[in-house]
Amino acid sequence: MSVVLAKGAEAMLFLEQWYGIRVVRKHRIPKSYRVESLDKRLRHERTIREARTINVAKRAGVPTPIIYSVNLETATIIMEYIEANRLMEHLETLSSSKQQKVFKQIGKSVALLHHTHICHGDLTTSNMLLHTSGKVYFIDFGLATTTHSIEDYGTDIHLLRRALNSTHHTSWRECFNAFKDGYQNEYGRGASRIFRQVEAIESRGRYITERIR
Protein backbone atom coordinates (compact mmCIF):
# COMPACT_ATOMS: atom_id res chain seq x y z
CA MET A 1 0.00 0.00 0.00
CA SER A 2 1.39 3.36 -0.97
CA VAL A 3 -0.51 6.61 -1.38
CA VAL A 4 0.80 9.97 -2.38
CA LEU A 5 0.80 12.14 0.71
CA ALA A 6 2.10 15.30 -0.87
CA LYS A 7 3.89 16.66 -3.89
CA GLY A 8 6.34 19.09 -2.39
CA ALA A 9 8.67 21.44 -4.22
CA GLU A 10 11.58 19.07 -3.97
CA ALA A 11 10.14 15.72 -3.20
CA MET A 12 7.30 13.29 -3.59
CA LEU A 13 5.98 12.00 -0.27
CA PHE A 14 4.25 8.67 0.09
CA LEU A 15 2.36 7.20 2.99
CA GLU A 16 3.32 3.52 3.29
CA GLN A 17 3.51 0.45 5.47
CA TRP A 18 7.03 -0.45 6.54
CA TYR A 19 7.51 -3.61 8.61
CA GLY A 20 4.07 -3.17 10.06
CA ILE A 21 4.15 0.53 10.82
CA ARG A 22 2.87 3.52 8.94
CA VAL A 23 5.69 5.62 7.57
CA VAL A 24 6.38 8.48 5.20
CA ARG A 25 8.73 7.83 2.31
CA LYS A 26 10.26 11.07 1.09
CA HIS A 27 11.81 10.75 -2.33
CA ARG A 28 13.79 13.64 -3.75
CA ILE A 29 13.03 13.34 -7.41
CA PRO A 30 15.50 14.26 -10.17
CA LYS A 31 14.88 17.67 -11.67
CA SER A 32 15.18 17.70 -15.43
CA TYR A 33 15.78 21.45 -15.61
CA ARG A 34 19.23 21.30 -14.03
CA VAL A 35 22.53 19.71 -15.07
CA GLU A 36 22.59 16.07 -14.00
CA SER A 37 25.72 16.24 -11.86
CA LEU A 38 24.42 19.28 -10.00
CA ASP A 39 21.07 17.60 -9.54
CA LYS A 40 22.69 14.48 -8.11
CA ARG A 41 24.91 16.48 -5.80
CA LEU A 42 21.99 18.49 -4.40
CA ARG A 43 19.69 15.54 -3.83
CA HIS A 44 22.48 13.55 -2.23
CA GLU A 45 23.61 16.42 0.02
CA ARG A 46 20.11 17.29 1.12
CA THR A 47 19.14 13.73 1.90
CA ILE A 48 22.16 13.38 4.17
CA ARG A 49 21.56 16.76 5.74
CA GLU A 50 17.92 16.11 6.39
CA ALA A 51 18.47 12.72 8.00
CA ARG A 52 21.36 13.90 10.12
CA THR A 53 19.85 17.16 11.26
CA ILE A 54 16.44 15.73 12.13
CA ASN A 55 18.19 13.45 14.62
CA VAL A 56 20.32 16.19 16.12
CA ALA A 57 17.26 18.42 16.41
CA LYS A 58 15.32 15.68 18.14
CA ARG A 59 18.13 15.20 20.65
CA ALA A 60 18.08 18.94 21.29
CA GLY A 61 14.42 18.67 22.27
CA VAL A 62 12.71 19.81 19.07
CA PRO A 63 9.79 17.60 18.00
CA THR A 64 10.73 15.94 14.68
CA PRO A 65 9.82 12.64 12.98
CA ILE A 66 11.96 9.58 13.76
CA ILE A 67 14.23 8.59 10.88
CA TYR A 68 14.00 4.85 10.13
CA SER A 69 16.06 4.44 7.04
CA VAL A 70 18.01 6.39 4.43
CA ASN A 71 18.92 5.42 0.89
CA LEU A 72 21.42 7.79 -0.65
CA GLU A 73 21.39 6.10 -4.04
CA THR A 74 17.74 6.93 -4.55
CA ALA A 75 17.73 10.02 -2.29
CA THR A 76 14.99 8.52 -0.15
CA ILE A 77 14.24 8.82 3.54
CA ILE A 78 11.82 6.66 5.45
CA MET A 79 10.51 8.41 8.53
CA GLU A 80 7.80 8.40 11.14
CA TYR A 81 4.39 9.53 9.92
CA ILE A 82 3.17 12.45 11.99
CA GLU A 83 -0.59 12.52 11.99
CA ALA A 84 -1.07 16.25 12.20
CA ASN A 85 -2.23 19.33 10.34
CA ARG A 86 0.10 21.55 8.39
CA LEU A 87 0.29 24.83 10.23
CA MET A 88 0.00 26.68 6.93
CA GLU A 89 -3.62 25.63 6.37
CA HIS A 90 -4.47 25.36 10.04
CA LEU A 91 -3.18 28.61 11.54
CA GLU A 92 -6.15 30.76 10.55
CA THR A 93 -8.59 28.31 12.15
CA LEU A 94 -7.03 28.85 15.58
CA SER A 95 -8.08 31.48 18.07
CA SER A 96 -5.63 34.30 18.47
CA SER A 97 -4.52 33.10 21.92
CA LYS A 98 -3.96 29.59 20.58
CA GLN A 99 -1.95 31.02 17.68
CA GLN A 100 0.27 32.83 20.09
CA LYS A 101 0.80 29.73 22.21
CA VAL A 102 1.83 27.85 19.10
CA PHE A 103 4.30 30.54 18.06
CA LYS A 104 5.77 30.77 21.53
CA GLN A 105 6.51 27.08 21.24
CA ILE A 106 7.96 27.56 17.75
CA GLY A 107 10.20 30.29 19.15
CA LYS A 108 11.42 27.93 21.82
CA SER A 109 12.17 25.20 19.27
CA VAL A 110 14.05 27.50 16.92
CA ALA A 111 16.11 28.78 19.86
CA LEU A 112 16.93 25.17 20.74
CA LEU A 113 18.04 24.59 17.15
CA HIS A 114 20.21 27.70 17.11
CA HIS A 115 21.70 26.78 20.48
CA THR A 116 22.73 23.50 18.88
CA HIS A 117 24.19 25.56 16.00
CA ILE A 118 21.57 24.38 13.51
CA CYS A 119 19.77 26.67 11.10
CA HIS A 120 16.67 25.09 9.63
CA GLY A 121 17.02 26.98 6.36
CA ASP A 122 13.35 26.93 5.33
CA LEU A 123 11.22 28.02 8.26
CA THR A 124 7.72 28.33 6.84
CA THR A 125 4.37 27.15 8.12
CA SER A 126 4.33 24.45 5.43
CA ASN A 127 7.25 22.83 7.22
CA MET A 128 5.55 22.73 10.62
CA LEU A 129 2.91 20.20 11.65
CA LEU A 130 0.52 20.92 14.48
CA HIS A 131 -0.42 17.77 16.39
CA THR A 132 -3.73 17.56 18.27
CA SER A 133 -1.65 17.40 21.47
CA GLY A 134 -0.60 20.98 20.70
CA LYS A 135 2.93 19.94 19.86
CA VAL A 136 4.51 21.51 16.77
CA TYR A 137 6.68 19.14 14.72
CA PHE A 138 9.41 20.49 12.47
CA ILE A 139 10.06 18.79 9.13
CA ASP A 140 11.93 19.37 5.87
CA PHE A 141 15.52 19.83 7.05
CA GLY A 142 17.09 19.50 3.60
CA LEU A 143 18.35 23.08 3.60
CA ALA A 144 19.59 22.96 7.19
CA THR A 145 23.14 24.07 7.99
CA THR A 146 25.47 23.78 10.93
CA THR A 147 26.77 27.22 11.72
CA HIS A 148 28.12 29.49 14.43
CA SER A 149 27.29 32.72 12.66
CA ILE A 150 24.82 35.23 14.06
CA GLU A 151 24.10 36.32 10.48
CA ASP A 152 22.85 32.81 9.70
CA TYR A 153 20.61 32.67 12.78
CA GLY A 154 19.30 36.09 11.84
CA THR A 155 18.59 34.93 8.29
CA ASP A 156 16.71 31.90 9.61
CA ILE A 157 14.45 34.18 11.66
CA HIS A 158 14.11 36.67 8.80
CA LEU A 159 12.84 33.85 6.57
CA LEU A 160 10.20 32.92 9.10
CA ARG A 161 9.12 36.52 9.58
CA ARG A 162 8.83 37.06 5.84
CA ALA A 163 6.95 33.79 5.37
CA LEU A 164 4.48 34.93 8.03
CA ASN A 165 4.19 38.35 6.50
CA SER A 166 3.52 37.03 3.00
CA THR A 167 1.32 34.03 3.82
CA HIS A 168 -0.48 34.98 7.02
CA HIS A 169 -0.80 38.71 6.63
CA THR A 170 -3.75 39.15 8.98
CA SER A 171 -2.11 37.74 12.09
CA TRP A 172 1.59 37.81 11.38
CA ARG A 173 2.60 40.53 13.83
CA GLU A 174 1.10 38.88 16.89
CA CYS A 175 2.49 35.52 15.82
CA PHE A 176 5.95 36.93 15.28
CA ASN A 177 5.91 38.71 18.64
CA ALA A 178 4.93 35.47 20.37
CA PHE A 179 7.74 33.72 18.48
CA LYS A 180 10.17 36.35 19.71
CA ASP A 181 9.03 35.83 23.30
CA GLY A 182 9.47 32.09 23.07
CA TYR A 183 12.84 32.45 21.42
CA GLN A 184 14.17 34.97 23.91
CA ASN A 185 13.02 32.93 26.91
CA GLU A 186 14.84 29.88 25.65
CA TYR A 187 17.92 31.43 24.10
CA GLY A 188 18.55 33.84 26.96
CA ARG A 189 21.51 36.19 26.72
CA GLY A 190 22.49 36.84 23.15
CA ALA A 191 18.97 36.69 21.75
CA SER A 192 18.78 40.46 21.43
CA ARG A 193 21.93 40.45 19.33
CA ILE A 194 20.33 37.98 16.97
CA PHE A 195 17.16 40.05 16.65
CA ARG A 196 19.28 43.13 15.97
CA GLN A 197 20.86 41.12 13.16
CA VAL A 198 17.39 40.34 11.78
CA GLU A 199 16.70 44.07 11.68
CA ALA A 200 20.02 44.68 9.95
CA ILE A 201 19.31 42.02 7.31
CA GLU A 202 15.91 43.53 6.60
CA SER A 203 17.00 47.15 6.64
CA ARG A 204 19.59 46.47 3.97
CA GLY A 205 16.60 46.87 1.72
CA ARG A 206 16.71 44.54 -1.15
CA TYR A 207 17.69 47.11 -3.68
CA ILE A 208 21.42 46.78 -3.60
CA THR A 209 23.02 49.22 -5.94
CA GLU A 210 25.72 47.77 -8.06
CA ARG A 211 29.04 47.83 -6.31
CA ILE A 212 31.92 49.40 -8.06
CA ARG A 213 34.75 46.91 -8.24
Partner 1 sequence: MFVLGIESTAHTLGVGIVDADGKILADVKSVYSPTEGGIHPREAAEHHQQSCLLVLKDAMDQTGISLRQLDAIAFSQGPGLPPALRVGAVMARALAYTLKIPLLGVNHCVAHVEQARFFSKAERPLVVYLSGGNTQLTTLESNRYRIFGETLDIALGNMLDMFGRAAKLAHPGGPKIEELARKADGTYLPLPYTVKGMDLAFSGLLTAAKRLLKEGADLVTVCYSLQETAFAMVTEVVERALAHTQRTELLVTGGVAANKRLREMLQIVAKNHSARFASVPPKYAGDNGAMIAYTGLLLQREQIETPLSASHVMPKWRLDQVKIEWH
Ligand X SMILES: Nc1ncnc2c1ncn2[C@@H]1O[C@H](COP(=O)(O)OP(=O)(O)O)[C@@H](O)[C@H]1O
Ranges of H-type helices in 87-129: 87-90, 96-115
| CA separation, residue 14 to residues 26, 50, 54 (Å) | 7, 17, 19
- Out of 54, 57, 78, 79, which residue is the one contacting ligand X (CB under 6 A)? 79
The CA distance from 64 to 140, in Å, is 10
Please identify, using beta-carbon distances, which residue of 25 and 161 lies nearer to partner 1. 161
- Out of 43, 77, 79, 140, which residue is the one contacting Mg ion (CB under 5 A)? 140
The CA distance from 22 to 148, in Å, is 37
User: Closest by alpha carbon to 29, among 69, 74, 64?
Assistant: 74
Instruction: For the segment 132-171, give every residue that binds ligand X (CB under 6 A).
Output: 139-140, 142
**Using rule CB under 8 A, residue 209 touches partner 1:** yes
- Out of 19, 95, 169, 189, which residue is the one contacting partner 1 (CB under 8 A)? 169
122 carries an active-site annotation: yes
Please identify, using beta-carbon distances, which residue of 74 and 165 lies nearer to partner 1. 165
What are the E-state strand segments in the chain? 2-7, 11-18, 21-28, 67-71, 76-80, 85-86, 118-119, 128-130, 136-138, 145-146
**Using rule CB under 5 A, residue 50 touches Mg ion:** no
Catalytic one among 122, 140, 152, 156?
Answer: 122
Catalytic residue numbers, as ranges = 122
What is the binding site for partner 1 (CB under 8 A)?
7-10, 31-35, 37-38, 41-42, 121-124, 126, 143, 155, 159, 162-163, 165-167, 169, 201, 205-213
